[in-house]
Amino acid sequence: MKGETLKDTIETVANYVDLIVLRHPYDGAARWAADVTTNRMKRGHKKVPIINGGDGKNEHPTQAMLDLYSIKKTQKRIDGLDIAIVGDLKYGRTVHSLAYALALYDCRIRFVAPEILQIPEHIEAYLKRRNVKYTKHSKIEEVISDVDIIYMTRIQKERFPDENEYNKVRGIFKLNRSMLSKAKTTMRVLHPLPRVDEISVDVDEDIRAYYFEQAGNGIPVRMALLSLILGGEENE
Amino acid sequence: MSEYTANVKLNTTKKGLIVRLIKDGTVIDHIPPGKGIKIAELLNLFNQDSVVIIGQNLESTKYGKKDIIKVENRFLKSEEYNKISLIAPYATINIIKNYEIVEKKKVVIPDVLEDVALCNNANCISNKEPVPSKLYVISKEPLIVMCHYCGYEFSGENIRLKT
């Protein structure tokens, strides 16, 4: 760490590459990086697109793309589905991007989290403006029998400003195989990974566990994204 | 003849005595009561040689009470209008030349606040690195803004202006 600003890093790296995938600890870093490359273009340099690979606790859009792909692949549709998102909804950037993405479809979202980790107000305001159907819950049991997807997330210790706050909620949600007995057989369990203890390993053997395949879906989805941005040709 | 000009000699309003009039400068009127000092600080009016007069809790026919600022030999820049609009959305700016109001403007909250106010998200890149802040006004009444970078949306009541 030499104290270089993100602007300087982008201005430098943009000379070497055709595209930048940026993962950064600060919220909004990718947007700023895109502004920097846009200004660079105005100065006559080539276009260097930015892909947000996760900015702080804000967003992780390519994860949301592979999440949508995984939902569509397993349920054959997205409209009309009932989707539970469980865990750290406040700091979980994959959750934020997924909520924005699902707002484009006609589905019902169930946000399951302790009060202090519920979905941020500004995202809730966005969902309200778009008339998205959503409810908030504090227990997985309240929703498990109704939903088509359970999207589990890790309580992220590294995002908590205060360790005491983390200790209050660590391990609060744990999905195990016996809980799945109440779920639809067509329901699928998703998780952006890595998991810690929020999904018991016994769930791995259940037909409803889909998180490892979901991670694999990241390859074709991100390949497609790179191809779209860099102007690759469509294969038959 | 305007009310302002009519009162030049008497130095009074219809309601009675007021502080002295200014020859050339700016009068910021219809400031919500109690916000006059904040606006004066924001405009950095205390760090200059000119006469600055701040009236607090004056009677206002429109709003009940108001604050008012008079500053001599100082005219505002457009970004200063934007800043004032966030604290005093109904403020009127009077440009005074030779004791006459030569121009009267109402402040308007702009659609985009560029480098005027800070994002309320402490982890936003605009609060961590030398990045010009940029907030979109998504509602003017009540004032709600959204950060261009991190998408954080918050109420204008909590807005912190850049000084």
Q: Is B124 on the interface with A (CB under 8 A)?
A: yes
Q: How far apart are CA A185 and CA A199, in angstroms?
A: 17
CATH topology of domain B3-106: Alpha-Beta Plaits (3.30.70)
Whether residue A126 sits in one domain with residue A202? yes
**Average pLDDT over every residue of A207-225:** 98
Label residue A235 by pLDDT band (50, 70, 90): low
Chain A CB contacts of B129 below 8 Å: 5-7, 26, 32
Domain count, chain A: 2
**What is the pLDDT of chain A when averaged over all its residues?**
95
Inside any domain, residue A128 = yes
Same domain, A98 and A181: yes
A11, A15, A20, A25: CA torsion to nearest 10: -30
Q: What is the pLDDT of residues A32-82, one digit of tens each?
A: 999 999 999 999 999 999 999 999 999 999 999 999 999 999 999 999 999
Interface membership of B147 toward A (CB under 8 Å): yes
Q: What is the pLDDT of residues A69-91, one digit of tens each?
A: 999 999 999 999 999 999 999 99
What is d(CA B84, CA B39) in angstroms, rounded to the nearest whole number?
7
* Span A177-188, average pLDDT: 97
Is the pLDDT at B17 greater than 50? The verdict is no
CATH of B112-161 given 2.30.40.10, 2.30.30.20, 3.30.70.100, 1.10.10.10: 2.30.30.20
Does one domain contain both A143 and A105? yes
pLDDT of B20 reads: 67
A67 plus A38 within the same structural domain:
no
Query: Is A173 within a domain?
Result: yes
pLDDT band at B132 (very low <50, low <70, confident <90, very high): very high
- Tell me whether residues A5 and B154 touch, CB distance under 8 A: no
Supply the range of the domain harboring residue A45: 6-55
**Inside any domain, residue A65:** yes
| CB pair distance less than 8 Å for B149 and A27 | yes
Whether residues A21 and A77 fall in one domain: no
Tell me what pLDDT residue B8 has.
Answer: 43
What the block records as the tokens of B155 is 């109420």
Q: Is residue A227 part of a domain?
A: no
A56–chain B Cβ distance below 8 A for any pair:
yes
For residues A12 and A70, membership in a common domain is answered with: no
pLDDT for residue B141 is more than 80: yes
Q: Locate CATH 3.30.70.140 in chain B.
A: 3-106
A225 within some domain: no
User: A7–B129: do the CB atoms touch at under 8 Å?
Assistant: yes
Q: Which residues of B90-127 are buried (b: 16+ CB within 10 A; e: fewer)?
A: ebbbbbbeeebeeeeeebebbeebeebbbbbbebbbbb
Give me the helix-helix angle, A93-102 and A121-129, nearest 10°. Answer: 10
Same domain, A44 and A27: yes
Is-contact A107 A79, C-beta < 8 A?
yes
- Do A90 and A146 fall into the same domain? yes
Shortest distance between the Cα of A1 and any Cα of chain B, in A, equals 14
Q: What is the CATH number of the domain that holds A158?
A: 3.40.50.1370
- Cβ contact (<8 Å) for A28 and B154? no
- Write out chain A residues lying below 8 Å of B148, CB-based: 28, 31
Q: Which part of chain B has CATH 2.30.30.20?
A: 112-161
Q: Note whether A122 contacts B151, CB cutoff 8 Å.
A: yes
How close A174 gets to chain B, by Cα (Å)? 29
Residue B162 pLDDT grade (very low, low, confident, very high; cuts 50, 70, 90): confident
**By the CB < 8 Å criterion, does B153 face chain A?**
yes
Q: What is the pLDDT of residue A234?
A: 64
Residues 97-156 of A with CB under 8 A from B: 121-122, 125-126
More confident residue, A155 or A108: A108
Which chain B residues contact residue A130 at CB under 8 A? Answer: none
Mean pLDDT of B3-30: 63
Q: How confident is the model at residue B81 (pLDDT cuts 50, 70, 90)?
A: confident
Which range of A12-16, B18-22, B35-39 scores highest in mean pLDDT? It is A12-16
Q: Which of A36, A55, A74 is the last residue of a domain?
A: A55
B121 with A55: Cβ contact below 8 A: no
d(CA B124, CA B14): 50
Q: Name the H helices within chain A.
A: 6-13, 29-42, 61-75, 93-102, 121-129, 163-169, 211-230
Confidence of residue B3 (pLDDT cuts 50, 70, 90): very low
Give chain B's length.
Answer: 163
**Confidence label for B1 from pLDDT (cuts 50, 70 and 90):** very low
pLDDT of residue A161: 79
What band does B145 get if pLDDT is binned at 50, 70 and 90? very high
Residue B38 has pLDDT above 60, yes or no: yes
Is A80 contained in some domain?
yes
Q: Say yes or no for a CB contact (<8 Å) between A31 and B148.
A: yes
B18 pLDDT tier (thresholds 50, 70, 90): low
Q: What percent of chain A has pLDDT over 90?
A: 88
Does one domain contain both A24 and A92? no
Within an 8 Å CB–CB cutoff, is residue A5 touching chain B? yes
Of A109-118, A163-172, A180-189, B2-11, least confident by mean pLDDT is: B2-11
| Region A101-111 average pLDDT | 98
pLDDT of A200 over the 80 cut? yes
- On whether any CB of chain B is under 8 Å from the CB of A55, the answer is yes
Query: What is the count of residue pairs from A and B with beta carbons less than 8 Å apart?
Result: 58
Higher per-residue confidence, B86 vs A141: A141
The reply to whether residue A58 touches residue B131, judged by beta carbons under 8 angstroms, is: no
Q: Is residue A226 part of a domain?
A: no
